[in-house]
Amino acid sequence: MTKLNQHLTPLFSTLKDVYAKRDITPFHVPGHKRGKGVDKEFYDFMGPNPFSIDVTIFKMVDGLHNPKSCIKEAQELAADAYGVRKTFFAVNGTSGAIQAMIMSVVKPGEKILVPRNVHKSVSGGIILSGSMPVYMNPEVDNELGIAHGVKPETVEKMLKQHPDTKAVLIINPTYYGAATDIRKIAEIVHSYDIPLIVDEAHGPHLHFHEDLPLSAVDAGADICCQSTHKIIGAMTQMSMLHVNSNRVDANRVQQILSLLHTTSPSYPLMASLDCARRQIATEGRELLEKTIKLANNLRAEINKIPGISSFGKEIVGREGIYSFDPTKLSVTAKELGLTGFELETLLVDDYNIQVELSDFYNVLGLITLGDTEESTNTLLEALKDISKRFYGTGKKIEGEVQKMPPIPEAVLIPREAFYSEKNKIRFEESEGKICAEMIMAYPPGIPVITPGERISRATIEYIKGLKDAKLHVQGMEDPELNYINVIEEEDAIYLYTEKMKNKMFAVPMNLGANKAGIEFGPEVLEEYYPDTFGEMTYIDIEKQRENFNEPSLKYKNTILHTCNKLAQATNEAVRDGFRPITVGGDHSIALGSISGVALEKEIGVIWIDAHGDMNTDETTISGNIHGMPLAALLGAGDRDLVNCFYEGAKIDPKNVIILGARDLDVKERDVIEELGVKVIHYDDVMHKGLDHILEEIKDHLKIDNLHISFDVDSIDPEFAPGVSTPVRNGFSPEEMFQTFKFLFKNYSISSVDIVEYNPVNDKNGKTMDFVNELTEFVLNPNC
């Protein structure tokens, strides 16, 4: 039940009864000055009234971006009519509203779950937000040749596979009227405490009649948008965006709409939105009763015509169809040998009837509040005549929808693909390249490949099959698809994802460990694996004057000088959009790599090491600084080390985990306990299992950006003997790859250290090979 007087139209009434009646002399835009400056033919056709209320923002008529009077009241009435918390007028159509919804709930690099058959405005919203789409396949109806909804089971499965998803977008209903079980989907999505956003462009009427599918606003969606102009009486371009949950910040929605909306919205169009709300709120059920009856009667009569048919509620229960909107009228004449495209052409050219769209099998017409028996009879008689003309020719449109290949590998997120340089090559030679175009197949109206995805041989063969079958393929710059735009690997721009471009630094230092051999690690790796390590930038070790009266801080000045240089380099890399990868050298260099990153980002650190490296100058036994960097980064110990690159601690203890510790000094344990750093010993991994430990890490580290500082001695010396301070037992290579994959999947990895590889102690290149394979993964993670 509504609480406000839905017969009111505050915006329209202000324009008509306040502004237009006052005979104001306008010295404001628009320049036609209430129609006096309009082209005569256009003015004669339109009449005076639209121009009399065509105004700009001023106090009398309120403003859309900061509404205080009549627009504010009009939006409140709309929210009341739909039973939601907040409604915004969307003057850039539902396309702009969809983009605003996406930008309101996901940030750059975050995952959003979307159906594969989304409207292009969703792709636009994903590009604008910088988010990462995770695609769900809708259910494809081979008989009808169209895609339906996404099943709740599909949503649940994909969320289990991608538990770091930040929002889910659903279409309700589809263009063809199929609606999924949106209430069940809302329950699943909310069990992850993330918002459900709904593209309800084709359902602004659903809330107002019980014989229609359930509206998103009634099913528990957190935010949805509707094309008020599609079924009910607003003018083209006018839509509404509804917020109905505290999972979505309405103030943020307002800010984003202000970014996207024109600063000169059309007042006549907004007035039509105000009046359309009044109409549907006060007369909606009666008007929809008539509309549904017209649609059902027309469908029944069409199904009596030889060779022509129109599906209806009998399809409910098929995969992806929980309910059906009868106002969507799909008509097929494939039994007459006519494609949907041909049928549309006949209706326009021979009968002056324009349908909403056509696909390979169907035309789609909309039965709305504006239809009458006269209009539906006009379509019915035209279809009867077409049946007489083409029935009995023996020609039929045969064949089923081809099974689509798997969703291709996503190399770039859409924003990255949009900004990357494109090159045109022959389509036949595009295997393995990154696609720069969207290629859509009709039927079933689902993208075969989208920008940023890798072109596979299966994709090429599928598209060739579509062309051979003379099915409709669109979206390409070259309609014949002899050529295709691609993105070369070297031209790709990586912005937010785990596949961002890397910048590698080599720090050949052994002074922190005070043991020979570690300094040769980067050089040996580069010599044997130039493809992996051939582009490292070396940080030179410049010997500084040392105070040898400080046995507890050996080579402090040279180490600190080197770490400051490394910090400067990693900081510049992060600011330029790169992920710094630092190859050592001993573990003291993490003082520099982490300091450089931490100046730009709040980061967590997972310190994978047999040792804690949490000694200070007061607790150390050896005086070797490679056993101190983590403590210094947390603000403990020698002040010069603590103040490397900039003053103070660089990381918060609650955002740090030491993983795989097997050898902690007695006094070092006191430092760890005092600072409150979580330690997961390798014994814990053995007893609980690595899967359990990784989930424990995820529960503890509640931070977006993560630095991985990996010491090779965390690996069992049986598999990696090439270290300076080996400790018995430890991770296997397989366990470490599993750990890295988990971290890359669940966090934005800002930077990585790989340290303490000592080729002098290696056996048959075992450690070198492992370090190379791990670094290859870090450079090109495949999660």
Catalytic annotation, residues: 587, 609, 611, 613, 626, 711, 713, 756
Question: In this structure, what token pair is assigned to residue 108?
Answer: 């750059």
What's the 3-state SS for 579-631?
EEEEEECCHHHHHHHHHHHHCCCCEEEEEECCCCCCCCCCCCCCCCHHHCHHH
Phi, psi for residue 312 in degrees, rounded to 5: -140, -145
Phi, psi for residue 768 in degrees, rounded to 5: -60, -45
Task: Please enumerate in sequence order all residues whose Cβ is within 8 A of that of 409, keeping only pairs 6 or more positions apart, or say none.
Answer: 453, 454, 456
Burial category of 653 from C-beta neighbours within 10 Å (exposed 0-12, middle 13-18, buried 19 and up): middle
What's the 3-state SS for 335-355?
HHCCCHHHHHHHHHHHHCCCC
Task: Please enumerate in sequence order all residues whose Cβ is within 8 A of that of 59, keeping only pairs 6 or more positions apart, or say none.
Answer: none
Whole-angstrom distance, CA of residue 631 vs CA of residue 624: 13
- DSSP assignments along 108-146, one per residue: TT-EEEEETT--HHHHHHHHHHT-EEEEEPPPEETTTTE
Task: Please enumerate in sequence order all residues whose Cβ is within 8 A of that of 402, keeping only pairs 6 or more positions apart, or say none.
Answer: 462, 465, 466, 469
Helix (H, G, I), strand (E, B) or coil at 31: coil
Pairing of strands 579-584, 502-507: parallel
Q: Classify the phi-psi angles of 482: left when phi > 0, otherwise alpha if psi is within -120 to 50, otherwise beta.
A: alpha
DSSP assignment, residue 403? P
Count CB atoms within 10 A of the CB of residue 763: 11
Whole-angstrom distance, CA of residue 553 vs CA of residue 591: 14
Task: Please enumerate in sequence order all residues whose Cβ is within 8 A of that of 241, keeping only pairs 6 or more positions apart, or say none.
Answer: 87, 88, 90, 97, 100, 101, 223, 224, 225, 253, 257
Question: In this structure, what token pair is assigned to residue 261?
Answer: 């909306």
The answer to whether 168 and 160 are in contact (CB under 8 A) is no
Question: In this structure, what token pair is assigned to residue 268?
Answer: 């006549």
The answer to whether 280 and 81 are in contact (CB under 8 A) is yes
Whole-angstrom distance, CA of residue 541 vs CA of residue 544: 9
Question: In this structure, what token pair is assigned to residue 124?
Answer: 């636009």
**In the chain, how long is the greatest CA-to-CA distance?**
106
Bridge partner list, 113: 134, 168
The helix-helix angle for 766-779 and 521-528 (nearest 10°) equals 80
Q: Is the peptide bond before 444 cis (omega within 30 degrees of 0)?
A: yes
